[in-house]
Amino acid sequence: MKNNFILFTIIMSISFCFIVFYKGLNNSNTYIPSISDTKNIPIFEAKDFNSNAYLNSEKIFEEDIFYIVNIWASWCVPCRTEHPLLMRLSKNQSIKLIGLNYRDNLNNAKDFINEFGNPYSQIIIDNDGTLSVEFGAYGVPETFLIDKNKNIIRKFVGPINQEIADKIKLIIK
């Protein structure tokens, strides 16, 4: 009876460990905490992509509409795949796209925009990546949805796909 109990406990423990590790195999290696409470957009000053003039966040997000902040770079391959979706999103009148050019060569970035089109109403430069940290970004591409109260309400790590674009459209409706 005692031996059976020990055997049962061992089998149960091994099974439990197996299930935990097997489930863990399917999880992503990168842990991304969900945005449980809405955060205000950071207060910052950044260089404008076209004019090189300094702009502050109040000026950038001055309108009472939804905004998308998209972190991109010309060297980022997934940015190319999401670009057509951003172009389509930019046609929506109730949203404005702000591009945050991340650790990029300005000429390459300009070539990228000339080649693939410009979905952004404003592009700001983040040469050292510190502005992206202010947004709580991990890298490129990354997209933030900002509501009319200037709160970050969604964060999409990685390139946006059709499903995410539909979700954004549904929220801003």
Partner 1 sequence: MKILKIFIIIFLFIGFPQSKSDEKNNELKSKILKNIRCLICQGQSVYDSESDFASSIKLIVDKKINKDVSEEQIYEFLKEKYGDWIIYEPELNKKTYILWLLPLLLFLFGGAIIYKTIFKKKNE
Please report where in the chains the tokens 């300005």 appear, as a residue: 106
Residue 158 near partner 1 by CB under 8 A = no
Cβ-Cβ contacts under 8 Å for 69 (sequence gap 6 or more): 41, 98, 100, 135, 143, 144, 146
Residue 11 near partner 1 by CB under 8 A = no
Task: Tell which one of 90, 118, 132, 143 touches partner 1 (CB under 8 A).
Answer: 132
- Please identify, using beta-carbon distances, which residue of 63 and 128 lies nearer to partner 1: 128
The secondary element (H helix, E strand) that includes residue 162 is helix 162-172
Residue 80 near partner 1 by CB under 8 A = no
Dist CA 151 CA 40 (whole Å): 4
Residues 99-128 that bind partner 1 (CB under 8 A): 103, 128
Backbone φ, ψ for residue 149 (5° rounding): -85, 10
Residues 36-75 that bind partner 1 (CB under 8 A): 39
Residues of the shown chain interacting with partner 1 in the complex, contacts defined by CB under 8 A: 29-31, 33, 39, 103, 128-130, 132-136, 138-139
